[in-house]
Structure 1
Amino acid sequence: MVKKSVKKLLFLSIIIFLFLSCKSHQNFVTTFATSNGWGYKIKYAGKELIIQENIPAVNKKISFKSKKEAKRTGNLVLIKLIKSPSAFPDISINELDSLKISY
C-alpha cells in the first residue's frame, strides 16, 4: 500500500515539474540587432508579444547601445508583465537609469 502511494506521489511530482518547466519556456526575452544598435523581443504565454526596437520612455528613437542593455531592459519588462499580466508594462527614465542604460 505504501509503495503505491509513493509511486503516485512520484508520478504527480514529475507531472508538476514538467508542467512548470514547460510554462517557464513560454516566457523569455531575446535580443536582435537593429540598424542603429540593439532591440528586444518578449515571448509571453507562447506568443511574441513585444518587439521593441527603441529604448522605451526616451523621447528619441534610439536603439540600445549594447545587447546586454537590451536584454536587461527586456527582462525588467517581462518581470512586470508576469507580475501584472492585465496591465501593459511600462518603463520609466528612473528605471532605465537604475539599469545603467545609456541613451
Structure 2
Amino acid sequence: MQDSIAVVPFETGGGWGYSVNIGARPYIYQDIIPALPGRNVFKTKADALRVGNLVAKKLRDKQLPTISKEELVEMGIVK
C-alpha cells in the first residue's frame, strides 16, 4: 500500500484541496481545510500539498490520517 500512495492537489471554488489516492483510486478527498469549523479552503496549492503529504505520511506509517488544528498551526496553514 505505501508505495502506491499519491497526493493530488486540485482547484476548488476560490482555493485548493487535495486527494490522497491509493493506486488509481481516491482514498481521501479533502476540499476544505480539516479540523476547522466552516468551509475554509486552502489558500495555496503548496498549503494543500503540505497537509496532503502529512496525511499520506501518516497512512504510510500506519497511523490514523487525522489532522489537528495544532498541526495546522505548526505548519503555518492557520494562526
TM-score by length of 2: 0.88
Q: Is the 8 A contact 1:65 1:102 kept in 2?
A: no
Q: CA deviation at 1:102?
A: 3.1
User: Structure 1 residue 100: deviation in Å?
Assistant: 0.8
Contact 1:36/1:62 (CA < 8 Å) preserved in 2?
no
Tell me which residue corresponds to 2:73.
97
Structure 1 stretches of 4+ with a deviation exceeding 6 A read none
Q: Match for 2:27 among 49, 65, 79?
A: 49
Q: Which structure features the higher share of helix residues?
A: 1
Q: Tell which structure's C-alpha radius of gyration is larger.
A: 1
TM-score by length of 1: 0.69
* Higher RCO (C-alpha under 8 Å, 6+ residues apart): 2
Q: What's the secondary structure of 1:65's corresponding residue?
A: coil
Question: Comparing both structures, which one devotes a greater share of its residues to strand?
Answer: 2
Task: Give the % identical residues.
Answer: 39
